[in-house]
């Protein structure tokens, strides 16, 4: 029998803690998109990802909006992809935003490959191309999938106690799906960042050029919105064309084609893990990754 016809039945056991995983508000020409799963450190499930996609579209369609601020509710910006909360909805079907087929009944490596083309690589690329300026306001942890959300934004503003981390090499995986590491950081620094999985302080991220501005935690919101207000004074079309120009230069430097290649290696790693251990994530779940991160941070002081 052709393996393409061997569909799989997977149970959807997700239980959501909120019906509003993304909050949306507009004031003074600035749209605020707020990740709203604070009890799980704004881990990204599909419910949140599709809601965020809807919120970006809403902000683009609103002629009163000049600038978009992406922020997180609670202590942390985002702890990354949801790999272990009750709301992990990896087996739930959604109305898809791209022309990839539904992943939920697909066998083998096709399962995650199709899903992540949709909710990670595809959506992040579209959010990067939003024609209005976007600012990520980062406090606390910005880990793995959280990096993707910050990196698609045009500017990153962070609290001085924030940190950035991509520890997924621990799973045998070469970085998160939206692989922008050597474009956000010097390639040698990107290797260190991934090889060690260490936390990068907001101060060092600022020195590397990944963060635009630093503020004390209690000044972060005011500083971010002051920057957004200054940008909002510029003409809409001038901002859109400037953004297109700089994104185009990045793509000429190979960003898009490099990301395509690494996405394939990422999914080879998932399949390799499953062949060796029966688990696509190398035996890690959210709790295991959090414990390993804390232990590593403690060892390094």
pTM: 0.95
pLDDT for 227-286, tens place per residue? 999 999 999 999 999 999 999 999 999 999 999 999 999 999 999 999 999 999 989 988
> Across the chain, what does the average pLDDT equal?
95
pLDDT tens, 158-168?
999 999 999 99
Is 236 or 290 the better-scoring residue by pLDDT? 236
Q: What are 125-150's pLDDT values in tens digits?
A: 999 999 999 999 999 999 999 999 99
Per-residue pLDDT for 19 more than 60?
A: yes
pLDDT at position 5: 66
> Do 161 and 200 meet the contact criterion of CB atoms below 8 Å apart?
no
Asked whether the predicted pLDDT for residue 55 surpasses 60, the reply is: yes
> Residue 172: pLDDT above 50?
yes
Q: pLDDT-based confidence at 1, cuts 50/70/90?
A: very low
Chain CA centroid to CA 50, Å: 13
Give the pLDDT confidence score for residue 301 in this predicted structure: 62
**290 or 44, which is more confident?**
44
Is-contact 121 227, C-beta < 8 A? no
Q: What is the mean pLDDT of residues 175-198?
A: 97
Enumerate domains of the chain plus CATH numbers: 22-299 (3.90.226.10)
Residue 203: which pLDDT band, with cuts at 50, 70 and 90?
very high
């Amino acid at each position: 029998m052709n393996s393409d016809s061997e569909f799989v039945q997977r149970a959807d056991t997700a239980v959501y803690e909120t019906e509003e995983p993304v909050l949306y508000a507009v004031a003074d020409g600035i749209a605020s998109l707020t990740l709203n799963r604070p009890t799980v450190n704004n881990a990204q499930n599909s419910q949140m990802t599709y809601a965020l996609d809807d919120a970006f579209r809403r902000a683009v369609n609103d002629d009163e909006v000049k600038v978009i601020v992406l922020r997180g509710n609670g202590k942390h910006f985002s702890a990354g992809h949801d790999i272990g909360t009750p709301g992990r909805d990896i087996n739930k079907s959604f109305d898809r935003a791209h022309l990839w087929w539904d992943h939920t009944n697909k066998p083998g490596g096709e399962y995650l490959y199709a899903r992540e083309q949709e909710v990670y690589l595809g959506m992040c690329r579209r959010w990067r191309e939003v024609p209005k300026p976007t600012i990520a306001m980062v406090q606390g942890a910005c880990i793995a999938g959280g990096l993707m959300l910050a990196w698609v934004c045009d500017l990153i503003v962070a609290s001085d106690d924030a940190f950035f981390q991509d520890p997924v090499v621990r799973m045998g995986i070469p970085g998160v799906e939206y692989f922008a590491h050597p474009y956000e950081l010097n390639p040698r620094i990107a290797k260190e960042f991934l090889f060690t999985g260490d936390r990068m302080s907001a101060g060092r991220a600022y020195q590397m050029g990944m963060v635009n501005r630093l503020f004390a935690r209690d000044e972060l919101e005011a500083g971010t919105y002051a920057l957004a207000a200054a940008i909002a004074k510029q003409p809409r079309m001038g901002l859109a064309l400037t953004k297109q120009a700089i994104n185009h230069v990045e793509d000429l430097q190979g960003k898009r084609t490099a990301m395509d290649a690494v996405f394939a290696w990422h999914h080879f790693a998932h399949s390799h893990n499953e062949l060796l251990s029966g688990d696509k994530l190398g035996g890690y779940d959210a709790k295991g990754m959090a414990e390993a991160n804390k232990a590593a941070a403690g060892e390094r002081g």
